[in-house]
A and B are shown apart, each in its own frame.
Chain A
């Protein structure tokens, strides 16, 4: 973070301190403890064990940082899936508080490999809704039958 004006701009998040080991100056970043991590995955069992197919981004890290995790999933699978190859469970059940079966839960965005293209008409509708202050109406159209 050296060379960034962000350090001085946000003292509530960055502080420069002397290292207790050799006295050199280091930038410290405040640790965030999220109340919830909220992630969407392709496969979860009813207990909250999650498999993420394709890019994981920082989802597993977020689940570990947060107090608890809420999972929405393309489908509920049997726990036997996790037992086949435990290493592929990105988030284990004990970090998870809620599991919601929600196919299409990342729309109008992408969820590899289930749907790999943005639904452009719906994304354009979102952009328009934001501009015109019509987000509740947009939400209604996307949530039909899902709540």
Chain B
């Protein structure tokens, strides 16, 4: 089976030009313009009509509400937020909460998905069955059930704050979440971070040099001792000279809960686990399809060169499979992002819950808020698509197709 190569984005301009004029030449262009004008007119009518109707029904409209105080609290916020902040800030709090769940979810879903796919393809009977059972069990159960399951299962398994599971008296686990020491920056932080950055850059340089040596002279250089020295050693030296980069505020049990420290709330954990395990089942099938689409002669060629199965997969099969994997993988990333709106069921404060939920009912401005929320999801989806398109295009280019 051959797969048509994805066209690089640069050709879009060309295609647009062709589409505008088309075979009908200028007549085609005129028809296109007329059609666009009709669409614009319809859009204008809809907006104007909505405004007029809102006015006659005395429903508040406009975006003025964004600068008013929201007056309610949110359980998790990546930026500082209090109940005297504005709805505009609530919007960003919700957006960031959605983003963090999506990004972390996508990260774990991809890893779990690849691992499960490799399990399913493994010649080991047990591993392949486990992979198969995982995929069939997870993808055939409704996602909302899984989210509720993880949430209630996680909650049920954890003790109340006063009976917290304590790990070295610094980490605490209870049904309010995982409480960890909060880092507080000290004067030594800046040199520490600077040395860390230098170390990472230098390590990348070493890797580049080693690869060149390998490809050009066939010389194999063992780089890990150098990398370790640069990434760990340099910051250590900075620490010895400038003192500790940070201290940790250890959480203390006080009243109903722990004071101090940072906390990962169980809603976040349940949602991330549910989203990533669920999406991973689909990703596993996509990856399996991608790997199977690579001719088995490639695998045999790898073996005959004396490469191990893992190395053959990593260096030969997976890079070729990626161009089949990437487009449907994008779909799964988009699904995960959109599915994160199920958060409201377990009280995770994502965009839909705090903005399209609480803010709507407090202001009553459903049209504006729903439009903004839809706009955000559209933007997130288009951005993800664009990144994946570029990635897919680079893969195709590197494969020379």
Do A and B truly interact?
A: no
B residues in contact (CB < 8 Å) with A: none
> CB within 8 Å of B: which residues of A?
none
